[in-house]
Amino acid sequence: MTRGRSVTALIGLVLLVGGLAWGATGLYGFGHYHASYGRIVAHASVPDRSATNSVVVTAFDYRAFDTLGEEFILFVSVVGVLVLLRRLRGESGRDEENVAEEDRRASESTRWIGLAAAGPLVVVTVYIVVHGQLTPGGGFQGGVILMSAIAFVAVGGESMVLLRLRRTSRWVEMAESAGAAGFAMIGFGGLIAAGVFFQNFLPKGTSGLLTGGVIPLANIAVGLEVGGALLMVIAELFDQRLRGRRL
C-alpha cells in the first residue's frame, strides 16, 4: 500500500472507531436493558408454546422468517462453493489407485479411533437436535456436530469411506435440499392451516419431548441442511487434497 493510501486509511479508521466509541456513550449502560419485546417473548414461551428454551422458540417460531433468510444464505453459499470447486476438480483427473495408496498409509489406531468416535457423535447430534426446544441446542449446533462426525472418519484415514460417501453424494445433496425445502414447507403449512405464514399449527404438548408444535420438525430440517451443507463443503475440499501426493 502506498503512503497516501495508508495515511487515508488510518485517518478513516481512527474516525470510525472514535465515532463508534462516542456513539456507545449514548446507549443505555451495560446491564440496563430497557426494551420490552425481549421480556414479553421470554416470559410467553413457556405458557404459550410449552417449550422451555426461549431462544430456540424465538428463532424457530416467533422469528422463523429471519431464520428462513439465514438458511437460504447458507444454501446459496454452498452452491457457490460447489460451482467453484467442482469445475476445478473436473479439469484434473482423479485416480482411485492414488487414494487407495494413501488409505493404506494411515496407521491402524487412527483409523479405529476415527471410526469409534463417529457413532457417539451421531447419537449426540440426534440428542441435541431433538431436544432443541427444552435445553440449549437446536438444529444449527446439531448440524455442525453431524459434519464433524463424518470428518472424524475422514481424518482417521478411512478415505475410502469418504470416497464412497462422495460417490453417493446425491444422498447428501438430497438431505441438504430436503432440509432447506422442509423449513420453507413448514412455513407454508402454517399458511395453509392457519392463514399466517409460519404460524405454529401443530398441537403443542404439555411437557416432555413432543412440545412446541412445529419446533422439533423445524429443528430436524435445519439440522439436516446445516449438516449436509458443511459436509459437501468439506468433501469438496478434501477430494481436491486426495489427488496426487501428500504434502
Partner 1 sequence: MNGLLAVLLTLVGAVGTLTVAIREPVRQTIAAGFLSLVLALLFFALQAPDVALSEIVVGSIAVPGMLLLAIAKIREQEQSADHEPGEADRGGDE
Partner 2 sequence: MSVYPYIVAAWLLGAGLYGVMSSRNYVHLIICLTVMQASTYVLLLSVGYVSHGKAPIFADIPTNSTVVDPVVQALTLTDVVVEATVVALLLALVVQANKRFNTVDPDAMTRMRE
Residues that bind partner 2 (CB under 8 A): 1, 6, 9, 13, 16-17, 20-21, 24-25, 27, 29-33, 35, 37-39, 41-43, 45-47, 52-59, 63, 66-67, 70, 73-74, 77-78, 80-81, 84-85, 88, 134-136, 138, 140-141, 143-144, 226, 229-230, 233
Query: CB–CB of 53/74 below 8 Å?
Result: no
Query: CB–CB of 146/108 below 8 Å?
Result: no
Looking at the Cβ atoms of 140 and 152, the one nearer to partner 2 is 140
Amino acid at 157: G
Instruction: Give the distance from CA 47 to its chain's centroid.
Output: 29
Looking at the Cβ atoms of 141 and 159, the one nearer to partner 2 is 141
x/- string (CB under 8 A) for partner 1, residues 165-204? ----------------------------------------
Name 128's Cβ contacts closer than 8 Å, sequence gap at least 6: 137, 138, 141, 142, 145
Residue 67 in the binding site for partner 1 (CB under 8 A) = no
Looking at the Cβ atoms of 16 and 174, the one nearer to partner 2 is 16
Q: How many CB atoms lie within 10 A of CB 126?
A: 15
Looking at the Cβ atoms of 45 and 141, the one nearer to partner 1 is 141
Q: How many CB atoms lie within 10 A of CB 130?
A: 19
DSSP 63: T
Q: How many CB atoms lie within 10 A of CB 1?
A: 8
Using CB under 8 A, which of 80, 110, 136, 174 touches partner 1?
136
CB of 102 to partner 2, least distance (A): 21
Helix axes 96-105, 159-167, angle to 10 degrees: 150
Residue 74 in the binding site for partner 1 (CB under 8 A) = no
CA distance 218 to 145: 17
Q: Which residues bind partner 1 (CB under 8 A)?
A: 30-31, 53, 55-56, 136-138, 140-141, 144-145, 147-148, 151, 230, 233-234, 237-238, 240-241, 244, 247
